[in-house]
Structure 1
Amino acid sequence: MSEIDDRCRLVLIVPESDDLAARQTMLADALKGGDVASVILPQYGLDDGVFQKHAEALVPVIQAAGAAALIAGDSRVAGRAKADGLHLTGDLASVAEAVEKFSPKLIIGAGNATDRHKSLEIGEVQPDYIFFGKIGGDIKPEAHPKNLALGEWWASMVEIPCIVMGGTDPDSVVSVAETGAEFVALCQAVFADPSRAAQVVATANALLDEKAPRFEE
């Protein structure tokens, strides 16, 4: 286990935009800032064809930096773009089907874990990770208390790793790490000012190096 693997790691969520060139530059810059475990690419309002084009351009940028590229929602787009995995926020049946069909070839992650009962149901179908919070839910500087509470409860009890959505302030990674969660997701904190993206990733990693609890071997 490397030094970084034994503490909470960053997951980035690509923000909404239809400007592919700007997204490529912004993402490449952010990934120069230091360790990122994976990057989630949501479709937002893009039509399927445009989303496909974006995925095919962005997945190699993510993978070149050593991060896993996760496509939100669409297994066909993930397959064609040669992504590493799928991030699903639909119903339980779609998560179960994806796990059955694509695991272990692809990483299968599941959101929509809005309470303990739902989370345990999702856990039963054995995704590779569970996500607390929602994409676009980072509207305050701090991580949402409900997501922190769910992350802490889950991490103390279940072996499936969890990602907790952070806030718009990079410092929010510390409160997420303190829950015992394996991953903290950032979007606006990193990308609100693209010119500072690498710096924010570096800052978040420095905070995690200094303050995140270490996992037991």
Structure 2
Amino acid sequence: MSRLYVISPPRIGEDFPDLLAAALDAGAVAAFQLRLKDVDDDTLCRAVDRLLPVAQGRDVAFILNDRADLAVRLGCDGVHLGQDDLPKGGVKAARALVRGLSLGVTCHASRHLAMEAAEDGADYVAFGAFFPTGTKDAPVRAEVDIVTWWSGVMEVPCVAIGGIDATNCGALVSAGADFIAVVGAVWGHQGGPAAGVATMLAAMTEE
């Protein structure tokens, strides 16, 4: 059964800890990833200090995007690295750096990158984008069959990401995605983030 993986919006305000708490209280969320681009280290560290207790206090894994060094230093549960964010030495080097933390790696639509990441110590691989998304410029479009293939041959979990919402998650759930990652479906929901989480969970359970 697929589980929900919530990623922060690109920008967060002073009220975001309360919004995050409401979202995580709305249903069973497996993980929260803080993904803030183009902010300085002080800003990022302050955000982690404020948000990490919100997630961990609800038994939700707190994943930091890009910054393996800060994830270790600040007590995060894991780090998610894109292909361009991997240290010299790739996934093996990242695995050594983050020690016991969970390590996720973006693999776009590449079976080769995913197999390599799994063999080198990634705890999960992420495929996408599956649908158009305004959150980031997706270099490639992934097809659902990559999830079907992966879930049939590998034990390492996979995350599906990119433009996923309650109307289109069904195929990915049916394909065997271990985690469904969302941004806009939660933070852009017209009923608010709590309603966004509840709507996603309902849609995922229907499959």
Task: Please give the TM-score of this superposition, normalised by the length of structure 2.
Answer: 0.86
Give, in whole Å, the separation in 1 of the partners of 2:101 and 2:8. 19
SS of residue matched to 2:172: helix
2:187 is aligned, of 183, 187, 191, to 191
2:120 is aligned, of 125, 139, 158, to 125
Give, in whole Å, the separation in 2 of the partners of 1:62 and 1:168. 22
CA displacement at 1:166 relative to structure 2? 4.8
Question: Which residue identity does 1:188 align to in structure 2?
Answer: G
1:106 aligned to 2:101? yes
Give, in whole Å, the separation in 2 of the partners of 1:147 and 1:159. 20
1:85-133 residue CA offsets vs partner (Å, 9 max, x unmatched): 1111134833211212334x21111113431222222222021100112
1:152/1:118 Cα in 2 relative to 1: closer, same or farther (>3 Å)?
same
Query: Which residue does 1:59 correspond to in 2?
Result: 52
1:35 is aligned, of 28, 36, 40, to 28
List gaps (5 residues or longer) in structure 1. 1-6, 212-217
Give, in whole Å, the separation in 1 of the partners of 2:182 and 2:42. 26
Question: Which residue identity does 1:153 align to in structure 2?
Answer: W
Moved more, 108-117 or 58-67: 108-117
Segments of 4+ in structure 1 off by > 6 A? none
CA displacement at 1:168 relative to structure 2? 5.0
Give, in whole Å, the separation in 1 of the partners of 2:76 and 2:190. 24
CA displacement at 1:187 relative to structure 2? 0.4
* 8 Å contact kept, 1:116–1:150: yes
* 8 Å contact kept, 2:21–2:55: yes
Give, in whole Å, the separation in 2 of the partners of 1:25 and 1:147. 35
Identity of aligned residues (%): 29
* 8 Å contact kept, 2:164–2:181: no
* 8 Å contact kept, 1:41–1:71: yes
* 8 Å contact kept, 1:166–1:186: yes
1:49 aligned to 2:42? yes
Query: Which residue does 1:215 correspond to in 2?
Result: none
* 8 Å contact kept, 1:148–1:164: no
* 8 Å contact kept, 1:10–1:185: yes
Question: Which residue identity does 1:68 align to in structure 2?
Answer: A
Give, in whole Å, the separation in 2 of the partners of 1:163 and 1:29. 23
Question: Which residue identity does 1:15 align to in structure 2?
Answer: P
* 8 Å contact kept, 2:109–2:141: no
Task: Please give the TM-score of this superposition, normalised by the length of structure 1.
Answer: 0.82
Moved more, 53-62 or 115-124: 115-124
1:69 is aligned, of 58, 62, 65, to 62
